[in-house]
A = this chain, B = another copy of it.
Amino acid sequence: MQPASTANQTEAETAPTDLEGLIGRFREALAPESVITDPQRLRTYECDGLASYRVVPAVVVLPENADQVGEIVAACAEYGIAFVARGSGTGLSAGALPRSDGVLIVTSRMRRILEVDVANERAVVEPGVINLDVTKAAAPHGYYFAPDPSSQQVCSVGGNVAENSGGAHCLKYGFTSNHVLALEVVTPDGDTVELGGRARDVPGYDLMGAFVGSEGTLGVVTKIVVRLLRAPESVQTLLAGFPSTDEAGGAVSKIIAEGITPAAIEMMDALSIEAAEQAVRCGYPEGAGAVLVVELDGPAPEVEHTFAEVQRHCRDHGAFEVRVAADDAERAMIWKGRKSAFAAVGRISPDYIVQDGVIPRTALPEVLTRISALSAESGVRVANVFHAGDGNLHPLVLFDGSEPGAVERAEEVSGSILDVCLAHGGSITGEHGVGADKVKYMGRMFTEQDLDTMQRVRCAFDPDNRCNPGKVFPTPRLCGEAPGQRRGVHPLTEAGLADQF
C-alpha cells in the first residue's frame, strides 16, 4: 500500500511544459468536456476498486470513439508521456491506478454496442460497454455473454479484457479470453491493429491471447468482438448446508471426480455466511459451517439427470440440508447471498482485504487448514468465499484499521495466504490481476527468465515503458538491454511435476 498522493495540489506548479503542450493537443482533438484538468474533478479518478492505492492523474481524457483513442495515444507517444487506460474502475488490484505525471484514458463514453450478429453468435462492442449490457442486448435472441464477474452490473468489457476477468461460471465456461474473438487495439505508439478475428485458428501469432489479461500494458482496446453463447435450455441451482468446509470440500471433489462440470460450484464458510445473512437476509441454512451453491445448466434431460446425482453426492458427503431453487426468484436469492459476500463483510468488520489466489483443486482441504492456522496464530479473522470448482480462493481478511498495527497484521496474513497458494503449486491471482498490488509477488511465482520472456514482449510493444508503467512487472529491465546469454534452469523437472502445476 502507499499513502494517498497529494500530487494534485502541486500539479499546476510542477507540470512540465510538455504536459501542457499535450493537454493543448487533447483540447484540439476532443470535445471540451472530454479533457479534465480541474484538481477536484481529477480526484474522482484517483483509485480503482482497491482504494488503498490513490494517485491523482495529471489529466483525464474521455474519448468518444476509437479514432480519438488513437489520437490520444499517438499524442502521448509524441510527447513521451505515460498513460493508463481505465474502464469502470472496479478492478481490485490497482491495475487502473493513475500516474501523477501521466494521462488517464477513461473509456466510459465508449458505450456503444456496435453490432449483435446472432447468426454468427457474436457481438461487437466498445470497451466502455457494461458487461451485463451485452447480455441484455443478446437476451431477446436467446443468447448471453458468459463472463460474469461479481461486478458485472458496473464493470466494463474493456476492463474484463484487460484483466481476463472470470466469475462464478468460469468453471464451465472459461475466462474472458475464451469469449473474445477479435480485438481492435491502439498500440503504445498510436497504431491501430486488429488481433484475432475472422475465423477460428487464425494464422500468424495469437497475440489476442497475449493481449487479453495484459492489464493495460500492451495498448488500449477500442473494439471487442465477443462470442455470444446460446442461453441454456435448463438451469438448476441448489444450496447445500454442511457442518464444515471439510465435508463441503469432499462433496466438491466427488462431483468433479465423477466427471460432472457444473456451471458453478461456490463455497462459503461460516464467517462469510454470517456476513451475507446480516447484509441481505438470504436465508442460508442455520448453523452451517459451510454452504455450497451448485448450478447446472444445459439441455434439460442432462441437467435433470446430473442434478439428481449432485444432490446425492452432497448428502453422501454430509450435507444436512439441500435446498433446490424452485424458480428464478429462489435462484436469485441463493445467488444474492454469494454475490453480496464481499460487500457484506463490511457488516461484520470495519475493514477487510479481498485476497485472490488459486490452488489445485485437490489441495483444498490442506490449504483451508493452513489458512485456519494462520488466522488462529495471528488473531486475524479470515472469511472464505471461493470458486471451489477451479480452486480460486477469495479469503477476506478482516481488520479494524483504527487499531494500531491491525493493517500490518492483516496484510501479513493476506500475503502469507498467497505463499500457501504458491507452496501448493498455485497462483498469486485467479481473476483480480496483478496490477500495482501484487507486483511484489511476481518474483515468487516466476523465475527471472520467465519474467524476462514477458518483458521481451512488453519491450516489443512499449519500449519506452509508457503504457500503464509500474503494473504487473517488478523492476522492469531497460528495454535496450539484451536478454543475456545465461542458460536457463529447467522449471519442468521430470520429477515432482504435480507439485509444480
Interface residues of A (CB under 8 A from B): 66-67, 70, 74, 77, 114-115, 117, 119-120, 122, 124, 164, 166, 170, 175, 177, 181-182, 184, 186-187, 189-195, 197-207, 209-210, 212-214, 218, 223, 225, 230, 233, 259, 298-299, 301-302, 304-306, 358-362, 390-392, 425-431, 433-434, 438, 442, 445-447, 449-454, 456-461, 472-473, 483, 485-492, 494, 497-498, 500-501
Contacts and interface: CB of A to CB of B under 8 A. Distances in A.
B206 A177 contact: yes
Contacts of A456: 460-461
A207 B305 contact: no
Contacts of A193: 447, 449-450, 452-453, 488, 491
Given A66-B490, A302-B302, A500-B198, A204 B442 contact: yes
A459 B457 contact: no
A168 to B, nearest CB: 14
A197 B488 contact: no
B198 A501 contact: yes
A454 B164 contact: no
Contacts of A197: 500-501
A63 to B, nearest CB: 14
Given A66-B492, A193-B491, 11 more contacts: A67-B490, A115-B497, A117-B501, A120-B361, A120-B501, A124-B492, A187-B453, A198-B427, A225-B492, A302-B305, A456-B460
Q: How many copies does the complex hold?
A: 2
B488 A117 contact: no
B210 A210 contact: yes
Contacts of A164: 201, 206
Contacts of A206: 164, 177, 209-210, 212-213
A230 B255 CA distance: 13
11 contacts: A66-B490, A70-B487, A74-B487, A119-B498, A192-B490, A197-B500, A203-B472, A204-B442, A204-B454, A456-B460, A460-B460
Contact of A209 (B114, B122, B209, B500): B209
Nearest to A362: B119
A200 B430 contact: yes
A182 B360 CA distance: 15
A426 B198 contact: yes
A474 to B, nearest CB: 11
